[in-house]
Structure 1
Amino acid sequence: MDKGERMTVATNSRRDMSRRAMMMGAAAVTAWAANPARALLQQAGGGATALPASVEALIGRMTVIEKAGQLTLMAAAWAGGAATSLNPAGGSASFDGQLGDVRAGRLGGVFNGNGAVMAHRMQTTAMRESRLKIPLLFAADVIHGLRTVFPVPLAEAASFDAELARRTARAAGAEAAASGIDWTFAPMVDIARDARWGRGVEGAGEDVLLGRMMADARVRGFQGERGLAAPDAVASCAKHFAAYGAAEAGLDYNSVDISERTLRETYFPAFQSAFAAGSPTVMASFNEINGVPATANPWLLTDVLRREWGFGGLVVSDYTGDEELIAHGFAADAREATKLAFMAGVDMSMQSGFYLNHLPDLVESGDVPMARLDEAVRRVLALKVQLGLFDDPFRRIDPRREKTRIRTRESLALAREAGAKSIVMLKNDGGLLPLPRQGKRIALIGPFAAGQHDLIGPWNVYGTDAEAVDLATGVRATVADPSLISVSPGSGIDEPLAGGIPAAVAAARAADIVVLAIGESQRMSGEAQSRVDIVVPRAQMALVEAVAATGTPIVVLLRTGRALALHGALLDVPAILVTWFLGSQDGPAIADVLFGKTGPSARLPVSFPHATGQAPYHYDHKSTGRPNAPGPLTEYKAHYREFANDALFAFGHGLTYGTIGYTDLDVGTGRMASDGALTVNATIANTGTRPAEEVVQLYIRDLAASITRPVRELKAFRKVALKPGERQRVSFTLRRSDLLFVGRDLRPTVEPGRFQIWIAPSAQAEGVSGAFTLA
C-alpha cells in the first residue's frame, strides 16, 4: 500500500470516528452541560476572535513568507535561566540573526528568553524596523513559578485545594508578565497513571475529577480576572493534547494505543475544563495515538477539537513536534511533515522552522490552500489582540517593573503556605510527629538534609536552587536551640559516600530523633526521565537500613516527583512525610509541618504501588471477573503472587495530627429520581488532641451497567477543619450528571440501577458506606 492509499484509509477511518464524535458531541453538550464537576462543557472561544479592521487588513497585506513567519515560534537565542539546557535554540541561532528575522517578518515570537531587556530589544525591532509592525509574542515554560518557585504541580495537586492552585498560578502569571512574558506553556493537564513516566510531576495525578479542577484553577490563575489584556495576565496553554500520559511502559514520547472511550472518559475531560475556563491555546502532544501522531491527527485536532468542541483558539506544536513526524515514520520528509501537521490543525510550529521553510512552497503548489494559511494567521493575530499587544506592544515589557514584582514578600509567603499544604503524611506510628521545638537532639541525615540542591524540582526555567531555602536552614530557624541540630549526608543520591554511613550511624546514636531526608533528585523526574524501577536508590536504602538499626526514632522525608514503591526498612520507620519538591520555600514549609506549626492536610494524588511491576496502577480500575475478596489471597483470583491488586498507599490517603473517625452515613431515601438529586451525609469527628483539616471524599460504584465501571470513582471532596473534640456533619449532593458514563455508542448515558457509595478518607478506606438506587 503506497502513501496515498494509506492516507485514504486513514481518512476514512477518521471520518468514521468523526461521525461518532459528532453524535456524541450533540448529546454531550445537552446531557453534560449541567454537570457541576464539568465533565464535558461548552468550550470558551467557540469561534475565532473577531479582529479589528486594521489588524484584519494586515492579512491581506502580508506576503506568504510573512504569514509563515507569524506561524513560526523559536527558542530565544538570548535565553534566560536554564532555557539553553531545557530547550536549546540551535547551534546556528544568534540574537542578531533573530533580530534579522524579526525585521524581515520571518518570526512571530520567541520563548524562554532572557527577561524584559531582551524582550524590549526584540519588540522595538519589530515595531520600528519590520514592514508591517506586527508585535512579537513572548512565551515561556512557567510551569510552577518564575523565580518564586511553587511546589511542582503534582505536589500542589496533593493539597486537594483548587483555590490554592489558582492563587499560585496567579502569582506565577504576574511574575511572568512582569518579566515581559505574554504566554505560558502551562498547565499540563495530562492524566498520568504510570509512575514510571517522569512527566507526571507536571500534572495533577491519576484522577479525572482532581485533574479537571486543577486545570480549571490554573488556567484562571495564569490569566487573572481582568482579561488577557491586563498587564499582569498571561495566556495559558493546555497541554499535551492528547493522552501523552498514557505512553506505553511509562516511556516518555512513546506510542499510545487506547480506545476512544478511554480518551473521552479519562484523557479529554481536563482539556475541556481548561478550555471552559478560558484557555485560548492548546499544545499538540508528542505521542502517536493508535498509529497517528497527535501532531498530524485530523480527527483529534480538527474533528474533535474544532468541530465537536468548537474550540476557536490557537493550536501550537510541541518542541519540533512536526519535525518528529519523520522519525515516527509518518512523513517522508520535511515538506510532507509540514503539510500533514498544518492540514491536521497545528496552527503554529515550535522550533523546527518547517512552516517558514515549507509553507510558502506548499501554498504556491496548491497543496495547502491559502484559506487555511490565513485561518492560522488569523488565530495568531487574534491571540495577540486578546493579549493587548496591538494596543500596547510593551505592556508587559518594563525592566523597572521586573525588578520590583518578582520574589516579593507576598509571593514567597505564598510559596511557603503552598509547600506546607502539599506535604502528605503517610504514617505516624505512636504519634511521633509533630516534633518538639526544644529539648531534643535532632540528626538531619540523608542526601537532602542540607544544601541548596534538588529543592525547586524539574521543569523550571528561571528559578534556581541557589535562591531556595534548604531543610537544614528551615529546621534551624524553627527550633529553640539550633546547636542541637546535626547534619550528616550519609550517602549520595545514587552512589555511596566514603565514610558516609558510619558518620550517619554515629549521628543517629547521638540523637534523640532522626529526620532522614531521602528520595529522588530533581533530575530523576520530569521530561525524558522515565524510570524502570520506581524505588528509592540502592545507596540510600543502605543508609536507611543502617540508621534504622540504631533504634533511634526516625521520620522519613520523602523527596519525589512521582509515586514510589516503598519497601524494606523504609516501611518500618514510625513516620513518613512525602515532601515532593516544594520550591523556593522548601525547607521552611517542611519545618512548618515537621514541628506542627501547620498540620499535614494533603492527600496522595497518585497511588503508591507495592512494587514497580504494578505500574500502570490507578485506584479506579475495573473489577475483573475474578476479583479477590478482601482478606487472604485466593487461588485463581485477580492478584499478584506477592500481594493484592491494591495500592500500598492509596489515592486520597493522608493523615492529620488529629484522630479522625467517620460514622453515621445517611443516604436519605436511598432513591434518586432520574431527574432529581440525592443528598448524602456523614459525621466526621476529631477525637484527638490537635486540630486537623480532613479531606472528606465521596466515591461511588455503579454495580451493574452496559459498560463495566470502575471499582470506585471520586465524585466530590471537601476539606473540613476540625478542632480537638469537634464533630461535623458533612453533606454532598449527587445529581444524575454525576452518574454519567460513555456508553456503548460513545454517547454519555445514565442507566437505572444500584450504586454503592462511600464517604471515606481515601480510595481504599471503608469510611462509611451504603447504597442507593437510581430510578
Structure 2
Amino acid sequence: MKEEQLLHLLDSMTLEEKIAQLVLLTGEFFDSEERSIGPKQKIGITQDVIDMAGAVYNVFGAEEVVKIQSNYLKKSKKGIPLLILADIIHGYKTVFPIPLGLGSTWNPDLVRKCMEIVADETSASGVQGTFSPMVDLVRDPRWGRVMESTGEDAFLNSVFSAAMVKGFQGERLDTSNRSIASCVKHFAAYGAPEGGREYNTVDMSERRLRQDYLPAYKAAVDSGCEMVMTSFNTVDGVPATGNKWLLRDILKEEWGFEGVVLSDYAATQELILHGVAEDELDAARLAIEAGLDMDMKTSVFANNLLELVNKGTVSESLVDQAALRVLRLKNKLGLFEDPYRGASVEREQVTLLSENNRKMAREAAAQSVVLLKNDKGVLPIQPDKKVALIGPYSDEKMICGMWAIQAEYEAVVTLKEGMKRQTAEASFFHAKGCDILEDYSVLGGMAKYLKTDTNPEEKEVYLSDAMQAAEQSDVIVLALGEHMFQSGEGASRTELSLPEHQLTLLDKLSLLGKPIVLILFTGRPLVLTGLVNKVASIVQAWYPGTETGNALAELLYGKRNFSGKLSISFPHSVGQIPVYYNEFSTGRPLSVSGRSERFVSKYLDAPNAPLFPFGYGLSYTNFEYSDLRLSHPSFSYGDTIQLSVDVTNTGEMSGAEIVQLYIRDVTGSVVRPVKELKGFQKVNIEPGETLTVLFIITEELLRFYTLEMEYKAEPGKFIAMIGTSSDSLLETEFTLLP
C-alpha cells in the first residue's frame, strides 16, 4: 500500500477506530466470546474495542495465528489486519544461549545469524514482531534480568544491539516473510534499578545516562528497529511511559525515530501507582502527550482517549500520529497484502528445529561458554580417564533460560547425553547428587510449574549414588547452578551464591581428593569466592539452549577450544556490587602510593577488583601479545592513526582469541573512566602462528559528553591498551592535537 493510500485509510477511520489501533492485548482476548469474558472484565474493556484492536501478543503457532487473524478480519470494517507480536528473546523452538551468553561470544556476526534463524522460525509460526533485543546495560547482577542483557559495557552492548536488529529484520521487512519487526527495550536505563530490585527507581545524571545507558538503544534505532518499548522505571523522577523528554525530545526528535513506541505490560496504568497520574484519564493524557503510541494490556487508551479528545484536553492529531505509526508498521510488514505473512503449518514442519538451526545453536552455545579456571590441565578430559558426571544439572533439560517460553524441551540435549557421545560407556558414571533447590518456595508463583516433592529417602539415594560414582572416577564433572526461574524478570536476589545443599555436595566430593570440573548453569554472575579453590576447573555455561550437551561435551573433551570471554564482571562478594571495569578513578585511588594505607578508596575486607574481570576467559592454548605500535604518536581532527599488535599462539592447539582495544582519556573537562572498550576482533590463530591485529583510531572513537554536554573529543593525551582481557593489557600513548 502506498503512503497516500495509507493516509486515505487513516482519514476514513473514526476516532474510535484510530484509538483501537493503539491497543495491544494478549491472545486470551481473542478466544471465543465466552472464554474472553474474564479477561475483558479484568481490565474493563469492551468487545467492540477488541474487534478493532491494533495488535495481539503471545499467540503462537501458524494454525492459531491464522485462525485469530481470519476471525478478526471477518469483523473488521476497514480490513486492517492485526499485528501479531511475541516475547521471542533468544529462540523460538530452537533456543540459543541467553543474551548474557551471547554477549560472551564477542561475535556479533554469529549473533546476527542466530537472530536470523529466530526470525525464520518465528515468522513461520505466524508471529510478525518480537519484543527483542533487550539492550539494557547492567552492572548489578542482583537484578534478575541481567540474563537478558549482553553485559556491562556500552560499546559491546551497542554492537550486539545492532547485530540483533539486523538479524531479526534483515535488510527490508517487506521483501521477506522470513524477517520480523524488532522492538528494542526497555527504554531507558531499566538495567540500573536501585538495589538491583526489579521495577525499582532509577536515578542518575544525564551525562551518565547519555554516555553509558542510551548508546545501545540508539544503535538499535540507527539500525532501523521498528519498535521501542518503554521501561517500568523512572528517569529523572518521571516514569518512562509518561516521560516526554525521553520519548519525544530524545527518541523521536533528537534521534529521528519514526517507528512505534509501545508500553511494557500495564506500564501506562502504573503511572497512577508511581504517583504522577491521578487516575486512568490522567494517565492516558500523560502517555499520549509524552509520545506513547501503543498501550499494552490495559484499557487506559481504549477507555479514555475518546473523552480526552472530545473535551479538547488532548489534540486528535496526537491520536492520528500514533495510529499512522501503527498502520505504517503493518504496511511495512506487507500485512495489507498478506495478513498471515506466509505463516503455515507446512512451513513450520520444515523450519522449526531444522538440522541447520540446531547446528547454529551448537556453534553459539560453544562460543558462549567461558573457561574461568583450569589448573594442572585437568581439561580437556583425556580419553583414558574415568569420568563421573554429577549434579542437578547433569541430566537437566530446563537449561534454556526463563524467557525461552516456546522452547521444545524434549529436543534439548542434556550434558549427560552430550558426554555419553564422547566417551566409552565403561568409563562414564552418572549420578544426580541433589535437586537444584531444596526449598522451591523461593520461586514464588513459578514453583507451581515444577515437580518439587522429592522426599528425604530420595535425597539420601541421590547423595549415596553421587559418592559411589565419584569414587570410581578419575575426574569429577560437577554440574551445579541456580534454578532457571531464579533469574529473569521478577527474580532479583540479595544472595548470589549457589544453594547451600549444592555447596554441601561440592564439599563432600572435594574430600575425595579428585580433580573437580565445576560447570555452572546460571543467568547471572554468582559469587564464587568461597569455592574457587575447591575445584580444579570452572566452566561458566550460562543457559546455553537446545544444543547445550553437545556443545559442552565437545569443549570438555577437547574436540574444540574455548573462546568465550566475560561480558560482565564477577564480584568477590555482594557487598562489592556494583563492580565493573570502566570505573572512574577517585582522588585517592588504591594504586597511587604516598598516602596512608588506610585512607585510600578500598574495602577493609575485600579487594577492589572483581574475582573475574570483564573480557576474561581462558583457552586450551596460550596467546602472547607483543610489539604494540602506533603509526604516528599524534593526529588531528579528521585524521586517523593505526594501532597494531602481534599476537602469537604459543600453545599446541589452534584457538580463537578476542583481541580487545581499550582507551583512556587522561585528562578531560569531566572525569573519564580508567579505560573504555573501543574495539575488538575475534581471530583464529594456529599453533606457532603470529598474527598482526590492526585497529584504526579516529577522533569519533574518542568522543564523550563534555562539561557543556557536547558530544565531542577534547584534545590531549590518551592511553591505548590492547590485550586479552580488561586487566591484562599492553599500553602506549598518543595525542589528539587541537
Flag whether TM exceeds 0.5 (same fold).
Answer: yes
Q: Displacement of 1:773 after TM fit?
A: 1.8
Q: Displacement of 1:411 after TM fit?
A: 0.4
Where do 5+ consecutive residues of structure 1 fail to align? Answer: 1-49, 81-87
Instruction: Please point out which of 452, 462, 466 is paired with 2:410.
Output: 466
User: 1:581 and 2:543 equivalent?
Assistant: yes
- Counterpart of 2:12? 61
1:322-333 superposed matches below 5 A: 322-333=268-279
Contact 2:51 2:72 (8 Å CA) reproduced: no
User: 1:132 and 2:78 equivalent?
Assistant: yes
Q: Deviations over 1:696-755 (max 9, x none)?
A: 101111111111111110111111211111111211111111111100111112222211
1:623-772 superposed matches below 5 A: 623-629=585-591, 634-765=597-728, 767-772=729-734
1:167-566 superposed matches below 5 A: 167-436=113-382, 438-453=383-398, 455-479=399-423, 481-495=424-438, 497-566=459-528
RMSD: 2.2
CA distance in 1, matches of 2:4, 2:172: 24
Contact 1:689 1:724 (8 Å CA) reproduced: yes
User: Aligned letter for 1:224?
Assistant: G
CA distance in 2, matches of 1:337, 1:483: 67
Q: Displacement of 1:69 after TM fit?
A: 1.1
Give the stretch that moved more between structures: 540-549 or 221-230: 221-230
Contact 1:563 1:607 (8 Å CA) reproduced: yes
Contact 1:518 1:540 (8 Å CA) reproduced: yes
Contact 1:153 1:203 (8 Å CA) reproduced: yes
Percent identical among aligned pairs is 40
Contact 1:446 1:490 (8 Å CA) reproduced: yes
CA distance in 2, matches of 1:702, 1:69: 51
1:91-170 superposed matches below 5 A: 91-93=38-40, 101=48, 104-105=51-52, 107-170=53-116
User: Aligned letter for 2:75?
Assistant: E
Aligned length: 713
Contact 2:476 2:514 (8 Å CA) reproduced: yes
Q: Deviations over 1:111-157 (max 9, x none)?
A: 01132112112221233332111111000011001111111111011
Q: Displacement of 1:672 after TM fit?
A: 2.3
CA distance in 2, matches of 1:537, 1:571: 18
User: Aligned letter for 2:185?
Assistant: K
- Counterpart of 2:455? none
- Counterpart of 2:447? none
Q: Aligned pair in 2 of structure 1 residues 291, 738: CA closer, same or farther (>3 Å)?
A: same
Q: Aligned pair in 2 of structure 1 residues 92, 103: CA closer, same or farther (>3 Å)?
A: closer
Q: Aligned pair in 2 of structure 1 residues 345, 280: CA closer, same or farther (>3 Å)?
A: same
CA distance in 2, matches of 1:53, 1:99: 32
Q: Displacement of 1:546 after TM fit?
A: 1.4
CA distance in 1, matches of 2:262, 2:185: 10
Q: Displacement of 1:227 after TM fit?
A: 3.1
Tell me the secondary structure at the aligned position of residue 134 of structure 1: coil
CA distance in 1, matches of 2:210, 2:466: 51
Tell me the secondary structure at the aligned position of residue 731 of structure 1: strand
CA distance in 2, matches of 1:289, 1:90: 37
Q: Aligned pair in 2 of structure 1 residues 642, 502: CA closer, same or farther (>3 Å)?
A: farther
CA distance in 2, matches of 1:629, 1:492: 44
Q: Displacement of 1:489 after TM fit?
A: 1.9
Tell me the secondary structure at the aligned position of residue 16 of structure 2: helix
Contact 1:104 1:131 (8 Å CA) reproduced: no
User: Aligned letter for 1:684?
Assistant: V
CA distance in 2, matches of 1:54, 1:662: 61
Q: Deviations over 1:637-680 (max 9, x none)?
A: 11111232111100000011111111121123322223321211
Contact 1:554 1:575 (8 Å CA) reproduced: yes
CA distance in 2, matches of 1:489, 1:98: 50
Q: Deviations over 1:564-600 (max 9, x none)?
A: 1112234431111110101111111111111112210
CA distance in 1, matches of 2:611, 2:696: 30
Q: Displacement of 1:433 after TM fit?
A: 1.1
User: Aligned letter for 1:208?
Assistant: A
Q: Aligned pair in 2 of structure 1 residues 110, 675: CA closer, same or farther (>3 Å)?
A: same
User: Aligned letter for 1:420?
Assistant: A
Contact 1:112 1:461 (8 Å CA) reproduced: no
Contact 1:665 1:770 (8 Å CA) reproduced: yes
Tell me the secondary structure at the aligned position of residue 517 of structure 2: strand
Give the stretch that moved more between structures: 212-221 or 687-696: 687-696
Contact 2:135 2:161 (8 Å CA) reproduced: yes
CA distance in 2, matches of 1:518, 1:167: 30
Q: Displacement of 1:499 after TM fit?
A: 4.7
Q: Deviations over 1:9-36 (max 9, x none)?
A: xxxxxxxxxxxxxxxxxxxxxxxxxxxx
Contact 2:630 2:644 (8 Å CA) reproduced: yes
User: Aligned letter for 1:489?
Assistant: K
Where do 5+ consecutive residues of structure 2 fail to align? Answer: 440-458
Tell me the secondary structure at the aligned position of residue 577 of structure 1: strand
Tell me the secondary structure at the aligned position of residue 145 of structure 2: helix
Contact 1:103 1:129 (8 Å CA) reproduced: no
Tell me the secondary structure at the aligned position of residue 476 of structure 2: strand
Q: Displacement of 1:100 after TM fit?
A: 5.3
Tell me the secondary structure at the aligned position of residue 244 of structure 1: coil
Contact 2:656 2:682 (8 Å CA) reproduced: yes
User: Aligned letter for 2:566?
Assistant: L
TM-score by length of 1: 0.89
CA distance in 1, matches of 2:203, 2:172: 41
